[in-house]
Amino acid sequence: MPMNSGNSFSHDLPEQSLILEVVIGFLYPFMLLLGFFIILNGHHSPGGGFQGGSVLAALFIARYIVFPVHDINSDTMHILQRIFLALILLTPMLLLFTGFIHQNPEFRSWYLLLMNILIGLQVGLELGVAVLRFAFFEGVGKTWHL
């Protein structure tokens, strides 16, 4: 199992069990598929951005359970979150509030699909960052006098 992460904060978790690793490795693509299914079918069936985003956040937890190293670049995720937030605020402003979508109603389902994808990715990234922060601080940060 590759444990070298590049940063100097090693983790003192015990070695993970093989059963957990194999089962999560088997379920990982299905979780990804389920999350994107819920997001992309949000305008045809029950589902949507928030629900699918929560499923996508479970991917981060599964990955952390199998490889308990902190090599995910949190800064990149934070920049991505800001970009997604700007897009979420800009898309309705440009499409809905200017009246573009009222004149061309054939773009309405594309607008809903785009907003669902943006919201889903945003919620997934945010919940994943929150969970990883908690895990890191629980393991490493408590040895620091802050």
Partner 1 sequence: MRILMSALLVCLLFTAVTFISMEHYEQQEPVLSQYIIRHFQEDARTDNAVTAVLLNYRMYDTMFEVLILLTAIIGMKQFLPGPKDLQQLKEQNGDAHEQR
Partner 2 sequence: MASVAEFFSRLSLSDMAVGLFFIGLYGAMTQRNIIKTIMSVGIMDAAAIVFFVMINFEPGHRSPVAGTPADQMADPIPQALMITAIVIGVSVVAMCLAMYMRVVFRYKTADWNTLIRRLGD
Residues in contact with partner 1 by the rule CB under 8 A:
7-9, 42-48, 70, 74-75, 78, 81-82, 85, 88-89, 92, 96, 105-106, 108-109, 111-112, 115-116, 119, 122-123, 126, 129-130, 133-134, 136-137, 140-141, 143-146
- Among candidate residues 9, 13, 27, the one with its CA nearest the CA of residue 63: 27
Pinpoint the alpha helices (H) of the chain.
18-40, 49-66, 74-95, 100-103, 108-139
By a kind-dependent CB cut-off of 5 to 8 A, residue 58 interacts, out of partner 1, partner 2, none, with: none
Q: Which two tokens stand for residue 27?
A: 């379920």
- Among candidate residues 98, 117, 136, the one with its CA nearest the CA of residue 56: 117
Q: Could you give the string, one character per residue 105-134, with x where binding to partner 2 holds by CB under 8 A and - elsewhere?
A: ------------------x---x--x--xx
Q: Which two tokens stand for residue 139?
A: 């393991």
Q: Is 138 in the site for partner 2 (CB under 8 A)?
A: yes
- Least distance (Å) from partner 2 to the CB of residue 23? 27
Contact 98, 32 (CB under 8 A): no
Binding site for partner 2 (CB under 8 A): 45-46, 48, 50, 123, 127, 130, 133-134, 137-138, 141-142, 145-146
